[in-house]
Structure 1
Amino acid sequence: MSSTSWAPLALAAAKPAVFWSDRDDAPAPAPALAGTVDADLAVIGGGFTGLWAALQALEEQPGLRVAVLEAEHCGFGASSRNGGFCDSSLTHGLANGLSHWPDEIKTLHRLGRENFSGLAGSLERHSIDSDFRLCPEIGVATELWHLESLAEDIEHYRAFGEDVDLLDADEMQARVHSPTYLGGMIRRNDVALVDPARLGWGLRSAVESLGAVVYDHTPANAINRKGNLIEIATPNGRVRARHGVMATNAYPGPVRRPRRYTIPVYDHVLVTEPLSPQQMASVGWAEREGLGDVSNLFHYYRLTADDRILWGGYDATYHFNNGVGARHDQSDETHLRLAEHFFQTFPQLEGLSFTHRWGGPIGTTTRFTATWGTTHKGRLAWVAGYTGLGVGASRFGARVALDLVYGRQTERTELQMVRKPPVPFPPEPARWAGVQLTRKALQRSDRRGGKRGAWLRLLDRFGVGFDS
């Protein structure tokens, strides 16, 4: 049976739910806010960035009164819907960092490694059981032009002291067995895999143990400045705080300015049933590396702790007018395409079924990295736009937001990456049209051996783009 024949059957019983958080031991949501509370720091958004902001603030200032406001429940958004790839890069890879900040890339690379080390240390210090596991990551070549691209990338990584090697077809096949593999680039340092839902739950537990109060099902509807305080209105209460951090990323928050610079792009994911020992032997994967191909429209995939395969990516879908919501979480067309690609990559796994299917929005900017700002006379800082690498970079994003809201001049706040915002996306309908044009251009580039057409070359010239 062909991959296109088996794929719909493999999807037939897949549950429309996020695998990571579809667990009996998920923590109960915190009570919603009712009434008025006073805080030293109010955090809007209970995902990775918001929880890292709360944790780092409390570690620096024990006894600080911190309130975390989450519209759904902690970890609801991209923080629990991602693949669990944790990378030290703050710049969406070295090549992207070099193209935007050549004079600062050494500093950004060092800060990224320090942040990664700090993240691992925080997990150990607070006993956060998130299945955090250092392991290699491989960029897989499935087309001849990928090999040329990887040969360029490896020179960048080696120049910065990274432990990387090119793999030929035999070496790649010896690690993971797929008829589509022509080679790869393995990176061995400062990358890890993690269970993202358990990471979010662990961060929530840690901040609560340090005295923060979490309010789930408490959207922030409006923010006003009241003297030397900010007042955050919620459906059934309000928070009066000296300072605030807004960390809603792809979702709209009460401050509109981030929407100029970030758009929500939907990414979709599948997870299989556990592989049998025989099926595991048929794919190899003894080192359980994180994998991803290097096309413009790419797949990322990994093994879970119980030997399932998580398979996501490829389509990056933007809905008109920054559209987000549950109606976009499931896409029959995209999930079927992902399933077909899965069995093209691993035809030996025909007969395997998918148990979970989901989607969710990723916040992206025109330079593929986070951006920051302040409002309300500096009393509120915001950060958004990690473009798929927020598992690690969100801790750094939160650290910078705290520096900004407390008025600290640090090495981080002096970075051009922080001081200068990305090129904004145009207003609708040009925003939607531009994204669709770019997606089609990326598809053509993949079909034409990576050659970038006139539209992509124009975007490159101005240092802007579209990615997930």
Structure 2
Amino acid sequence: MHLLPAAARLSRVPRSPHFANGGVSFWYRQTGLPERRAPLPGSADYDVCIVGGGYTGLWTAYYLKRDQPDLRICILEREFAGFGASGRNGGWLSAEFAGSRRRHAAARGRQAMIDLQRAMFAGVDEVIATARHEGIDADITKGGLVHAATNPAQRERLLAEVAELRHWGYGPADLYVMDPDERDQRIRVAGALAATYSPHCARIQPAKLALGLARTVEALGVHIYEDTTVTEIRPRTGTAPATAATDRGRVRAQFVLRATEGFTASLAGQRRQWLPMNSSMIVTEPLDAKAWDRIGWQGRELLGDEAHAYIYAQRTADDRIAIGGRGVPYRFGSATDVRGATQPQTIAALWRVLSRLFPDAAEAPVAHAWCGVLGVPRDWCSTVDADARTGLGWAGGYVGSGVTTTNLAGRTLRDLVLGRDTELTRLPWVGRTVRPWEPEPLRWAGVQLIYRLFRTADRREAEQAATTSGYARLAELISGR
């Protein structure tokens, strides 16, 4: 329990004189906000209408237009392309995939899940190659992924995860436990008892990737309409095509694809479909060379830990540390954040984790803080589908593992829209449907309880508990993961 008021806790955090909280992510503070594109000029007809201008929508438009240039494609975006999680995330171009592998395997067998994991490995390289081909400079460095355990319970989970992943197609070259020398050579995490390494991950600057993708698809002839709010998506009925109803008019299309991720609840009839989960980040001012000599991190690996309320971090291209984690995890009624503003207690909590993992960075001022939302299905498993009968399609529910998954989703939606039977369309996440989240106030109470239990478990384990806390096991049971 915190006994100090939020303002007092935040006052302990060293902050840059130029500190900013909310409004936009640090990534857009670097690039500058894009000039807004024109809104939808009125009702129109297209072959494919994509609702949502984030990575999923942009990748889908890119692959459709590259494969069939004569398709008339539009993207409808309430703010600007890349406004949501695509421009606010932690910059992990990772092969990690959301959801239970056993649940995915139950649909089409163990090999299908192994194929899905292999598709994620390949997806990392696909994004890197496409960015290079299209001249998109997104500060991409494929340094791999380190997961560190800083207490005995975390170490037990980390080693168990390696053994589990061997069953799902991870070979020794895909993931391994580092010896202490390699661990310290890569990143010196204070108190690390064990750490794993996987080469299947790259550091990106998220906003640069989003802005570059938007420019690329627009150059291919895709129409991107911004400041256009979609209120409802309607299926094909009789001879009437599928429709996206907006505040600027209606768009009729053979396919209307929903790519709204954490903002899905804003659409009519979708409030309980995917829960908008909140995640927050802070970034320091650049660290000096002496600090980096002590920390290491020369390979620009991505970094995660094994806490239940886990963190994700990167060393940026300009030598800052950006670190994120759950803040206020969920707002009542599936509400979303107030344009990226972050709670003072969340900033303080992230800084405490940063200081614990990297004492040499404890005095580095915090330059910026922000937050965003991600989509969480009731079974915590990502999904993609397109139904030729209704003309509707969707992808999302990435649960925070979406940067690479959006690319796989875009290529899969391309094949589904074009009626192809491919290796991608046979992957086990295709066509997955789950029950909706509980109505309020059960939804809010359940999420609050889950994360309170996770935080309690982390505190107990930090006291050197040898095994995973029972509080965490209870939280997992309630969450349905």
> TM-score scaled to structure 2, two decimals?
0.87
Whole-Å separation in 2 of the counterparts to 1:330 and 1:58: 38
Kindly tell me: are residues 327 and 219 of structure 1, through their superposed partners in 2, closer, same or farther at Cα, counting changes over 3 Å? closer
Whole-Å separation in 1 of the counterparts to 2:75 and 2:104: 34
CA deviations on 1:243-281 (whole Å, 9 max, x unpaired) are 211101100367555543410111110011111112222
Q: 2:101 maps to which residue?
A: 97
Q: 1:456 maps to which residue?
A: 473
CA deviations on 1:390-415 (whole Å, 9 max, x unpaired) are 10001122333344445544444444
SS at match of 2:176: strand
Q: 1:210 maps to which residue?
A: 220
Kindly tell me: are residues 422 and 69 of structure 1, through their superposed partners in 2, closer, same or farther at Cα, counting changes over 3 Å? same
Q: 1:9 maps to which residue?
A: 14
Kindly tell me: are residues 420 and 130 of structure 1, through their superposed partners in 2, closer, same or farther at Cα, counting changes over 3 Å? same
Whole-Å separation in 2 of the counterparts to 1:355 and 1:44: 33
Residue of structure 2 aligned with 1:128, choices 131, 136, 155: 136
Answer with 312-321 or 75-84: which moved more. Answer: 312-321
How much identity, in percent, do the aligned residues show? Answer: 31
Aligned residues: 458
Kindly tell me: are residues 97 and 256 of structure 1, through their superposed partners in 2, closer, same or farther at Cα, counting changes over 3 Å? farther
Whole-Å separation in 1 of the counterparts to 2:264 and 2:367: 31
Answer with 317-326 or 327-336: which moved more. Answer: 327-336
Whole-Å separation in 1 of the counterparts to 2:203 and 2:35: 25
Q: 1:192 maps to which residue?
A: 202
Answer with 265-274 or 286-295: which moved more. Answer: 286-295
**Is contact 1:297–1:315 with CA below 8 Å preserved after alignment?**
no
Residue 58 of structure 1 and its aligned partner are, at CA, apart by 0.3
Whole-Å separation in 2 of the counterparts to 1:42 and 1:415: 24
Q: 2:317 maps to which residue?
A: 305
Q: 1:282 maps to which residue?
A: 294
Residue 242 of structure 1 and its aligned partner are, at CA, apart by 2.1
Write out aligned runs for 1:61-460 (5 A): 61-91=68-98, 96-98=100-102, 100-101=104-105, 103=110, 104-158=112-166, 160-161=170-171, 162-169=173-180, 171-188=182-199, 190-224=200-234, 225=236, 227-252=239-264, 255-256=267-268, 258-315=270-327, 317-326=329-338, 329-372=341-384, 377-449=389-461, 450-453=467-470, 456=473, 459-460=476-477
Q: 1:36 maps to which residue?
A: 43
Kindly tell me: are residues 327 and 23 of structure 1, through their superposed partners in 2, closer, same or farther at Cα, counting changes over 3 Å? closer
**Is contact 2:412–2:425 with CA below 8 Å preserved after alignment?**
yes
Write out aligned runs for 1:47-66 (5 A): 47-66=54-73
Kindly tell me: are residues 90 and 284 of structure 1, through their superposed partners in 2, closer, same or farther at Cα, counting changes over 3 Å? closer
SS at match of 1:221: strand
Quick one: which amino acid aligns to residue 182 of structure 1?
A: L
**Is contact 1:231–1:241 with CA below 8 Å preserved after alignment?**
yes
Answer with 34-43 or 44-53: which moved more. Answer: 34-43
RMSD (Å), alpha carbons: 2.7
Kindly tell me: are residues 431 and 152 of structure 1, through their superposed partners in 2, closer, same or farther at Cα, counting changes over 3 Å? same
CA deviations on 1:383-439 (whole Å, 9 max, x unpaired) are 221011110001122333344445544444444432332343211111111112211
SS at match of 1:35: coil
Whole-Å separation in 2 of the counterparts to 1:59 and 1:253: 31
Q: 2:3 maps to which residue?
A: none
SS at match of 1:300: strand
Kindly tell me: are residues 330 and 259 of structure 1, through their superposed partners in 2, closer, same or farther at Cα, counting changes over 3 Å? same
Whole-Å separation in 2 of the counterparts to 1:402 and 1:222: 23
Residue 123 of structure 1 and its aligned partner are, at CA, apart by 1.6
Q: 1:46 maps to which residue?
A: 53
Whole-Å separation in 1 of the counterparts to 2:126 and 2:339: 37
**Is contact 2:286–2:318 with CA below 8 Å preserved after alignment?**
yes
Answer with 33-42 or 98-107: which moved more. Answer: 98-107
**Is contact 1:375–1:381 with CA below 8 Å preserved after alignment?**
yes
SS at match of 2:276: strand
Residue 196 of structure 1 and its aligned partner are, at CA, apart by 0.8
**Is contact 2:52–2:75 with CA below 8 Å preserved after alignment?**
yes
SS at match of 2:430: helix
Q: 2:464 maps to which residue?
A: none
Residue 5 of structure 1 and its aligned partner are, at CA, apart by 9.1
Whole-Å separation in 2 of the counterparts to 1:6 and 1:143: 29
Whole-Å separation in 2 of the counterparts to 1:403 and 1:255: 26
SS at match of 1:14: strand
Whole-Å separation in 2 of the counterparts to 1:107 and 1:463: 27
Residue 61 of structure 1 and its aligned partner are, at CA, apart by 0.5
Residue 125 of structure 1 and its aligned partner are, at CA, apart by 2.3
Residue 146 of structure 1 and its aligned partner are, at CA, apart by 1.8
**Is contact 1:295–1:446 with CA below 8 Å preserved after alignment?**
yes
Answer with 446-455 or 263-272: which moved more. Answer: 446-455
Quick one: which amino acid aligns to residue 25 of structure 2?
A: V
Whole-Å separation in 2 of the counterparts to 1:63 and 1:25: 33
Residue 153 of structure 1 and its aligned partner are, at CA, apart by 2.2
Kindly tell me: are residues 374 and 175 of structure 1, through their superposed partners in 2, closer, same or farther at Cα, counting changes over 3 Å? closer
Whole-Å separation in 1 of the counterparts to 2:197 and 2:428: 30
Whole-Å separation in 1 of the counterparts to 2:366 and 2:190: 21
CA deviations on 1:107-137 (whole Å, 9 max, x unpaired) are 2122223333332332222222112221121
